[in-house]
Structure 1
């Protein structure tokens, strides 16, 4: 089924038998969301280990990415990091359920912000700001906490499952004053004009037409080009949003990106990729290594490493 927003669609469109398994899954997710934090972490790690056992394709993608990004790693080290990655993603899956179905204040005591002064300073300029981040396993639960200090309008990508979209879009509408589907540039510009923050995750391969090639861990990869263009067009400050899971909760850090944008798309992409590397290093296992980051090749027609 084609990806399509469900915000203007009634739930009655998704109650037929072909959707029953999806609704059962959502019901289970709702019940899981009530678990206390420590149990979410323990159960999530178990879910991740199960996913590791049944996901040979994703294990291979991780291994290829590790060979490219960390060529000094041995086979055993790559395998161990892959296992840790799957455990982290299992935790993230359950944290996503909690972010959808529980009040954002449930885990407020486990959240630590750094850089609130940065947010205040950039918004005083009156041009909004562009948050840039990577994809880490705690994306949803950390993202649900950002509105506590900042009116942020996240850019999102629709999923293939329409039931998941129906739930996701409505739950995020509760958390955020506005969400923007990633192709809707008009709404991005409108939000910045209103002095709001627009949040992009900038580290996925969206294909050749929307990208330039810039190094990521020393390998040229397709990187979205329009962040620098938006910043240049609107004079909106760009802020790195770095987040992740800690031993007892989560840390969210905001840092203004200096001397950005430059006048060159490749230079802008290179800066962003370097920032992503710096964010990944302290918490490698939490990054979305199962994504085919190097899928699109610099020379069209060259085979994918996956």
Structure 2
């Protein structure tokens, strides 16, 4: 059963004193979303550098991930890439503010999109489609921008902070015609049946129960296994949604995933991980390296590589 949405909370409940600081933060975020794009990018850079200094644990996670994924990198190169990752993350926070409180049309002139024929050809089949992507820092904004060309139904995770989640759901509903909480499989199937695009970010560690182990940058990694099963059940085509930040804006493209799904969950997961590796290779600093991607070990009880 899907988790209850905090949109169902009354405003009176969310005005309790314990939420006042969150509401203050939301007010500041709202005001920041009106800043010009160049100003946001400038401030985002220095916010990222502040986060780099203030979060040693996240720096450590990045460094471990780089050691695993790019063993040829020197320590100096890993430090520099970590710093660039935090700068990109700072910019991504401002982009998230914009995606919540501004119309995507505001940045339409900064978007490069030249594969519309791919999504049009896919939806002509009448079976909907499954979009898969990774977690890159402009995720929220690029997701908002893609609605200029496509009615997409994103899968999302409910946040623990009730006010944060209430605002997120309320504002995203202005952009997306439908959002699907990640446990609500009935709504996923309904959207595909109605020939809509369902969007999954497929590159996080959700634990042993919902995963199989497949190589990611040469290391066995817990990878979600249900994408192939949904595709097989519905016969919905699967497309890679590859997006990123450029010097002057954003670009995104759709690529049809061929020979997918197979009858093997591990093979399906391996294909997904290879696609993620290719997407990361062109914009390494924008990827979410501060996530503990290799936390769950193939052998239960083995220590996490992030333990100091």
TM-score by length of 2: 0.97
Matched, 1:303 2:303: yes
Quote the Cα distance in structure 2 between the aligned partners of 1:199 and 1:299. 31
Quote the Cα distance in structure 1 between the aligned partners of 2:244 and 2:158. 23
Aligned to 1:214: 214
TM superposition shift of 1:39: 0.5
8 A Cα contact 2:111 2:251, kept in partner? yes
Matched, 1:112 2:122: no
Aligned to 1:161: 161
For the residue of structure 2 that corresponds to 1:148, the secondary structure is coil
Residues 127-142 of structure 1 mapped to structure 2, 5 A cutoff: 127-142=127-142
Aligned to 1:232: 232
9-18 vs 151-160, which moves further: 9-18
Question: After superposition, what is the alpha-carbon deviation per residue over 1:180-235, rounded to whole angstroms, capped at 9, x for unaligned?
Answer: 00011110001000000000000000010100000000000000000000000000
TM superposition shift of 1:114: 2.5
Residues 251-270 of structure 1 mapped to structure 2, 5 A cutoff: 251-270=251-270
Aligned to 2:66: 66
TM superposition shift of 1:274: 0.3
TM superposition shift of 1:73: 0.6
For the residue of structure 1 that corresponds to 2:112, the secondary structure is strand
8 A Cα contact 2:105 2:148, kept in partner? no
Quote the Cα distance in structure 1 between the aligned partners of 2:7 and 2:193. 24
TM superposition shift of 1:4: 5.2
Residues 3-152 of structure 1 mapped to structure 2, 5 A cutoff: 5-152=5-152
TM superposition shift of 1:5: 2.2
Quote the Cα distance in structure 2 between the aligned partners of 1:231 and 1:167. 32
TM superposition shift of 1:163: 1.1
For the residue of structure 1 that corresponds to 2:19, the secondary structure is helix
Quote the Cα distance in structure 1 between the aligned partners of 2:137 and 2:158. 18
TM superposition shift of 1:6: 0.6
For the residue of structure 1 that corresponds to 2:8, the secondary structure is coil
Question: Is there any run of 5+ residues in structure 1 with no aligned partner, and where?
Answer: none
For the residue of structure 1 that corresponds to 2:68, the secondary structure is helix
For the residue of structure 1 that corresponds to 2:59, the secondary structure is helix
9-18 vs 115-124, which moves further: 9-18
Quote the Cα distance in structure 1 between the aligned partners of 2:114 and 2:260. 21
Question: Is there any run of 5+ residues in structure 2 with no aligned partner, and where?
Answer: none
193-202 vs 6-15, which moves further: 6-15
Structure 1 stretches (4+) deviating beyond 2 angstroms?
A: none
For the residue of structure 1 that corresponds to 2:290, the secondary structure is coil
